[in-house]
Amino acid sequence: MTDLVLAIAHHLLVFALFAILAVELVMIRPGLAGNDLKRLGIVDLHYGLIAGLILAAGFARVFLGLKGPDAYLGNWVFWAKIAAFLVVGVLSVQPTIRIAVWRRQAKDDPAFALTPDHVASVRGFLIAELAVFALIPAFAAAMARGYGL
């Protein structure tokens, strides 16, 4: 039963993280200001929280799940999946920093709003995050079919 609960939690969290990335990509647009910029910061905070929960649930599956660590730790596809997750995390740093800066600017200047240059400074990172993120379920599917052993 523990394995099933961990698998469900892990999958739902991964779907939630993908949704948050998509929401950020849609929200970051020229003219974003005020309360909407504050909401973007809250969305980005949830991105970090859910990413942490994904790692916790994933590693709980490795060490507490039915297959056990031997099924994962010696599998190169598992490590490719972890590497893709880490790349997504690294790519997320720049947008998170920019969002924090924008929120401070908006706090200091109520007329502050995102310009096309602001948007361009993070859009590529968000698109790259989504592209690399797509590799994660591909690696998971490969592992489920016995690849990488």
Q: How many CB atoms lie within 10 A of CB 8?
A: 11
SS3 readout for 10-51: HHHHHHHHHHHHHHHHHHCCCCCEHHHHHHHHHHHHHHHHHH
Predicted TM-score of the model (pTM): 0.90
Structure confidence at residue 82 (pLDDT)? 97
- Per run of 10 residues, the mean pLDDT along the chain (length 149 residues) is 93 96 97 96 97 96 92 95 97 97 95 97 97 96 92
Please give the Cα distance from 64 to 112 (Å, whole number): 49
Structure confidence at residue 33 (pLDDT)? 97
Phi first, then psi: what are they for 13, rounded to 5°?
Answer: -65, -40
Task: Name, in order, each residue with C-beta under 8 angstroms of 142's C-beta and a sequence gap of 6 or more.
Answer: 77, 148
Structure confidence at residue 149 (pLDDT)? 84
Task: Name, in order, each residue with C-beta under 8 angstroms of 19's C-beta and a sequence gap of 6 or more.
Answer: none
Structure confidence at residue 127 (pLDDT)? 97
